[in-house]
Amino acid sequence: MIYDSARWTATLAGRRVLITGAARGIGAALAARLHERGARVALAGLEPDLLGSVAAGCADAPWWTCDVTDRDRVRTVVDEAARALGGLDVVVANAGVAAQMPVIGGDPAVLEQSLRVNVLGVHNTLSAAGPHISHRRGYTLTVASLAAVVRLPLLGAYSASKAAAEALGDTLRIELRPWGAKSGVAYFAELDTDMTSRGFGTEAAAVLAEGARGAMVSRVAPLKAGIDALERGIARRSRRIVAPWWVAAALPAHAALQPLLDRAVQPSLRRALEIARAEHAGLTTPQADRAL
């Protein structure tokens, strides 16, 4: 597809957008891109210094520290963002965490916090945003992952949480239809972000990839590929947003793809699991008052 920034600028200009997880990675880059296209952005996240810097680059956009697992805080931030922008047209539920976790012998706290942030946090965001975006220009976007439908070892906690987030986004799409609003889900493979380098840049993951000779995962794609896709998708209020391009084919083909991936990882899987059970891999974003 030819990238036409002028087309998206015309469509996005004036849109009132709240982005969670906006301190770094996808959220920060998306805020900068949408601001560049004329949207009015508001930001929420956990890291105030980083949030302030992102906001400064977006013409001093309003921002709030917000733990998305805190339902009352999320509702307050969403309501305040709506007041600051004079309403909301788009809410991007982007806040998320990841860490490797073998199902047997892994740290259950990784699963618990992944579910709190990636599922309950998404629900808190979408639920609070619902009344504000229930209009004909309204749109919510849940940032899921290719891992929501394609499973890899060590990613059980992440895949489970993103599959649940996908279900919430799809269900909301149906429930918003009477008001003319829309809801989309974004599916990314590995993009060049902190989540990829910090969450999956472990010894166990390296051993797994080496044994599979690169067959089990794609090469890390530039962050720009994801931001370009998000820009187009938000402008169109798309049901599905994917990056890199080949994820569009992987989604419907996942049933056939899964057995191939299962076989590809076998040569080094036992060793990788042994390493992972002894290796501490913290969550990708520091969590307030959490040990992980």
Residues labelled as active-site residues: 158
Q: Report the amino acid identity of residue 101.
A: M
Spatial contact of 161 and 115, defined as CB atoms under 8 Å apart: yes
- 99: tokens are 């860490």
Give 179's DSSP letter: G
Angle between helical axes of 108-115 and 156-176 (0-180°, round to 10): 20
Give 146's DSSP letter: G
- Write down the number of H helices and E strands in the chain: 13, 7
Give 63's DSSP letter: E
- Tell me how far the alpha carbon of residue 272 is from its chain's centroid: 26
Nearest in space to 205 (alpha carbons), one of 192, 189, 194, 216? 216
Spatial contact of 93 and 78, defined as CB atoms under 8 Å apart: no
- 98: tokens are 């990841």
Spatial contact of 173 and 239, defined as CB atoms under 8 Å apart: yes
